[in-house]
Structure 1
Amino acid sequence: MLLQEVQCTVKYVDSSPYKARRILKQLKNRSYAEALIILSLMPYKASYPILNLLRSLGTKAERQLITKRKSLVISTALANQAPTLKRMRPRAQGRGYAIKKRRCHICLGVKSTIN
């Protein structure tokens, strides 16, 4: 039986949404403890803000759903595009090339399963 969902968002993460989605695909429909282990072993830069988000989401879910963390399952994992930082790189003969530093908003949601 599935109960209410709790969501948490982190905004303006300095990683492209494509790289964040690569990590989030592996977390969807996994238990909270299993997702923590997976994230702590991933070598990607984008996994650190997701790990911090998941930890705070566990605390928030414990308080709102009044349940243990071991009964939580990740139900929602989204990475949406945030505003892009635009920078210029100097090139030969006075030209400048654009550098686009992509950012993303990451949203995670958990549900409680009671056996």
Structure 2
Amino acid sequence: MEAVAKLRNYPTSPRRMRLLADEIRGMDVEKALALLDFHPQHSATPLGKLLKSAISNWEQKNSGASAADAALIVKTIYVDGARMIKRLRPAPQGRAYRVRKRSNHVTIIVDTKN
């Protein structure tokens, strides 16, 4: 039985978050947590917390079964674009450049290997 966890409106670009999501897709959850703990990218911290949340959701759904015994994997992970905050930055000759501060939504689904 699979479990889902969602991270909404995290303020980093979806492209940066997809780089990490692609690394852990299909990986064993213990291995994915170890990779995210030591990854230098700043988005690895909230992604690790989200993965722990998905594992906890799986344990709750399966009446307290241990995730270590079940050999969970990251079945699905995807990153979607979220709200975009638009700001203006001064430019030469009285003009203005638009700065788009992007954010994203991440969804993780964990399930057993079978």
Q: Same fold (TM over 0.5)?
A: yes
Q: Which of 11, 15, 18 does residue 12 from structure 2 map onto?
A: 15
Aligned-residue CA RMSD in angstroms? 1.3
> TM-score of the superposition, structure 2-length normalised?
0.90
Uncovered stretches (5+) of structure 2, i.e. residues with no partner: none
Q: Runs ≥4 in structure 1, deviation > 3 angstroms?
A: none
Q: What corresponds to 1:78 in structure 2?
A: 78
Residue 11 of structure 1 deviates from its aligned partner by: 0.4
Distance (whole Å) between structure 2 residues aligned to residue 76 and residue 56 of structure 1 = 15
1:30 and 2:27 are equivalent in the alignment: yes
Equivalent position SS for 2:83: coil
> TM-score of the superposition, structure 1-length normalised?
0.89
**TM alignment of 1:57-76, pairs within 5 A:** 57-66=54-63, 67-70=65-68, 71-76=71-76
> Over residues 13-45 of structure 1, what are the superposed CA-to-partner deviations in whole Å (9 max), with x where a residue is unaligned?
111111111101111111111110000111111
Residues 14 and 104 in structure 2, CA contact (< 8 A), matched pair in contact too: yes
Residues 3 and 55 in structure 2, CA contact (< 8 A), matched pair in contact too: no
Uncovered stretches (5+) of structure 1, i.e. residues with no partner: none
Equivalent position SS for 2:106: strand
Distance (whole Å) between structure 2 residues aligned to residue 82 and residue 101 of structure 1 = 10
Identity of matched residues, %? 25
